[in-house]
A and B are shown apart, each in its own frame.
Chain A
Amino acid sequence: MTNTFDLSSALEDYLEVILELDEKKEEIRVTDIAKRLNIAKSTATITVNKLKKLGLVIQESYGPVELTRAGKEYAEEVRGRHLLLHKFLIELGVDYKTAEKDACLMEHILSPVTMKRIAEFVNQENGIEQEHTTKTHRYRDAGSGITIGTADDEMGLRSTGVKSLNELRVGEKGNIIRIAGKGAIHRRILDMGAATGSEVVVKGIAPLGDPIEVTLKGYNLSFRKEEAKQIFVEVCRK
């Protein structure tokens, strides 16, 4: 099981917590997240900003935190892993509390291959087709080429190379992973050729600093940095 972004356990935990809060509360504040994870609010703010950068959550300045579609999906997937591991451990005869604690640790570090085997094992045992773990498609596989980093980057972002397009320098190249937002502009960007997986090259920036010019599907397109922020790319290494 791989994800578009391979996040560190810290970020994955955040997502899980936000998902959990999301199901209980109307509005999620950074304070709620900090309380639930038992950490300082300032730390929580930094991490939420990282999630924001990845397009997994949305937060207007000091407003409530919301999961984006991708964020929600990711969070659900992490939880799926958690539930599966929990079930697996219980089946091995581990007590509930220990299973809960270990599942929390294991969910972040097991390789996709092991996860898949465990899923098959549990499903076989229960005779149910557990869709959650077998379903794969492009939106989760888009980043499967990225190797899982080491856990030493404690704040979470393992060198994933995922950036929003406005962060790319002139001449840098990336593959489109996702376009955040909804509505006419989202639609238009898609229609102009920004399909998932397409390569974009930042060609230049207008003299006054905005808009930017990119090459996409063999032609040149320009848009403002505001729009570029909505486009997430996986930076190609040279």
Chain B
Amino acid sequence: MSFRFALVGNPNSGKTSLFNEITGNTQYVGNWPGVTVEKKEGRAKKIKDDVKIIDLPGIYSLSPYTLEEIIARDYLVDEKPDVVINIIDATNIERNLYLTTQLVELGLPVVIALNMMDEVEAAEDKIDIDALAKSLGIPIIPTIATKGRGVNELMQKSLQIAQTAAVGSTTGKSLDIFNKGIGKYISETESALAAHLQDIPFNPRWVALKLLEGDLKIIDRLNLPGKLLQEIGQRRDMLEEEYGSDAETIIADTRYDFISGIVKKTIERKRSQGALSTSDKIDKVVTNRLLAIPLFLAVMFVVFKITFGALGSFTIDWVDVLINETIAGTISGWLEAAGATEWLYALIIDGILAGLSSILVFVPQIMILFLFLAFLEDSGYMARAAFIMDRLFKRLGLSGKSFIPMLMGFGCSVPAIMATRTLENEKDRRLTIILTPFMSCGAKLPIYALFAGAFFANNQSLVVFSVYLLGIVIAILSGIILRKTVLKGEPAPFLMELPPYRIPTGKGLLIHMWDRGKAFIKKAGTVIFAAAVFIWFFQTFDFSLKMVEDPANSILGVIGRGIAPIFSPLGFGDWKSAVAIFTGLLAKEAVVTTMGILHGLGEVTESSTSLIGAMQTYFTPLKAYAFMAFTLLYMPCIAAFGVIKREMNSWKWTWFAVGFQTAVAWLVAFVIYQVGSLLGF
């Protein structure tokens, strides 16, 4: 038999850890509300039957608010999984059960995984699981997802339920949440719907509730006759009149009443309401009025210092030597021994290896950055950072939640743009997507390293820092301008859970780091590889496909000369720079690779002294700075472009985003070069 089990729960309840345990998959887990930005599928291991596990984004209720919540709800109501595994944070049962009361109404069989039982035990709280299960009418399996405890039992139970449901009996029975008074309105609405059941692909009772609440998304989807909706509207008015509040509040309150009743009977919390938990004590320091901001800056400084400082450069040198000396030496030995032709030798050593090395040198550094980001997320600090920074982001017309995507933008725009899904407001999302690439990504670092090393040898780190800062300043200005023009409107309200601090597990951190880092390596193996071959080919051959002596006559040279005039006012109107900018669209690292190949130096890293010499004949310090500013700001690489298209879900917005970025880049470089020239630099 084959079944589909959906994992559903509040953000931060441990769904992803559970998913990893069940499937053995390396799915990353964060301590940041909403790390599962898409539904992900895996196959359950250790089970004979064919069971597909679907990990849905965290939701608080079935009234979706953010894009990821819409994904989760749509899956549940449209795809109707065989079993819903509702994962509940045992330390926060009351709020978690709110979703459960709604899941039951969907009419799908539900099993509860009562997770984080270790924390409950540590706090010496007592939960009467049997009584809880009985009053909810839902089987409950206690679990500790991070340690894999209870996972087998959970799967056995789910399977058992799926099998009984498959032969006709379902455990998905409705809870007795609503008292007679409200229940009357619900059943009346349900019977009013009875004549239209063919138009309602969902559980009618759930639909009745949603219609009474006035859920516009459901109303839009159902296409019910206006008269019926009007009738239901009247019923809603009557309910509101009788109970003296709005329907949503009445229904939500009733759910919480039901839950409080159960919780009171089954749970005994040791810690009194007012007492401070360890997490609260940490918060007292971390979000302290005076300490919070210095602490935040210190954390950011340490992350950048380690990533881009001594440790980072050490790893770069190490990989550089590994590829360009050890590997390149070995391969060229083989090639010579095998008697390879000149062009094949050139393709492999000057094209492929040189191209790959220019990006692979950054892999360790990017992994270090991702490891730090993973630590900040999993520990719960990231949510505090958003809390601390929200006020500033509000000035930009954004919310503190935009902070995370932007911070991740310093690593790589691809995961950063994907992380914008946690933003609830469409305009906020679009704006954040447009601004995130201004945060200088790791791939742009070699460009600065090359230019700063060549032209600002004495102030290298200061100049690189100023480029990063320039990106931030431009993002701020762009944010303000866009908010006042094309993306007019109030920023979405900020409403965010601050999860308790947790010590991240080593395994969790590595999984998290790897999940993001592998995208980068994959890019190196595919796009960069192709780019290297592409650049090598087009700069080695001319239009009649003959090998050329002077790259200026090659295909790339011709193209470069064609687009070069665009960059003349910016100070770098030579064809090699134009080609480098052009190939930078494939991957930003390719800018350095191209510079190296075009200046005829073969393998190149930013520390190669020969390239620096060659560069100095083409550039002045001012031109170099304008060039860095342009590469910082212009259209991101093709991989990021693809993600922008996917997340914007509109070609118009995608082209607007990259058009805006490129225009800003041109303008900023223009101002730098022209003003700089006037000032006599």
Contacts and interface: CB of A to CB of B under 8 A. Distances in A.
A binds B: yes
B287 A197 contact: no
Interface stretch (A47-55, A144-152, A157-165, A208-216): A208-216
B493 interface: yes
B287 A217 contact: no
Contacts of B391: 206, 208-211
Interface string B632-667: 000000000000000000000000000000000000
A187 B248 contact: yes
B494 A218 contact: no
A224 B494 contact: yes
Given A186-B248, A191-B98, A192-B95, A138 B253 contact: yes
Contacts of B243: 137-139
B289 interface: yes
Interface stretch (A28-36, A121-129, A177-185): A177-185
Q: Which of B95, B244, B287, B494 gathers most chain A CB within 10 Å? A: B244
B418 interface: no
Which bracket fits the contact residues of B?
A: 35 or more
A215 to B, nearest CB: 9
Interface stretch (B57-65, B80-88, B109-117, B517-525): B57-65
B86 to A, nearest CB: 16
B319 to A, nearest CB: 40
Contacts of B400: 211
Nearest first, the 3 A-B pairs at minimum CB distance are A208-B391, A195-B256, A191-B61
Interface residues of A, number: 47
Interface in A189-223: 189-193, 195-199, 201, 203-211, 213, 216-223
Interface of B: 60-61, 63, 65, 91-92, 94-95, 98, 240, 242-246, 248-249, 252-253, 255-257, 269, 273-274, 280, 283-284, 287-290, 292-293, 387-388, 390-392, 394, 400, 424, 493-500
A111 B248 CA distance: 32
Contacts of A221: 495-498
Contact of B246 (A137, A182, A188, A219): A182
B496 A198 contact: no
Given A211-B387, A217-B92, A218-B92, A196 B245 contact: yes
Contacts of B290: 207
Contacts of B60: 188, 191-192
Nearest to A210: B391
A66 interface: no
Contacts of B498: 213, 220-222
A204 B283 contact: yes
A73 interface: yes
Nearest to B497: A221
Q: B-side binding surface: helix, strand, loop or mixed? A: helix
A45 to B, nearest CB: 27
Contact of A224 (B94, B240, B394, B499): B394
B151 to A, nearest CB: 25
Contact of A190 (B248, B390, B424, B497): B248
A234 B635 CA distance: 53
B644 to A, nearest CB: 26
A217 B394 contact: no
14 contacts: A184-B424, A190-B252, A191-B61, A191-B98, A193-B95, A198-B256, A211-B400, A217-B95, A218-B91, A218-B94, A220-B283, A221-B498, A223-B496, A227-B494
Contact of B497 (A199, A205, A206, A220): A220
Q: Which of A188, A198, A201, A227 gathers most chain B CB within 10 Å? A: A188
Nearest to A69: B246
Contacts of B387: 206, 211, 213, 222
A116 interface: no
A206 B385 CA distance: 10
B220 to A, nearest CB: 14
A196 B495 contact: no
Contact of A222 (B253, B289, B392, B494): B494
Nearest to A196: B253
Contacts of A185: 493, 495
A191 B63 contact: yes
A221 B518 CA distance: 33
A204 B287 contact: yes
Given A179-B249, A217-B95, 19 more contacts: A69-B246, A137-B243, A140-B244, A184-B424, A187-B65, A199-B273, A203-B283, A204-B283, A206-B388, A208-B293, A208-B388, A210-B390, A218-B91, A220-B499, A221-B496, A222-B494, A222-B496, A222-B498, A227-B493
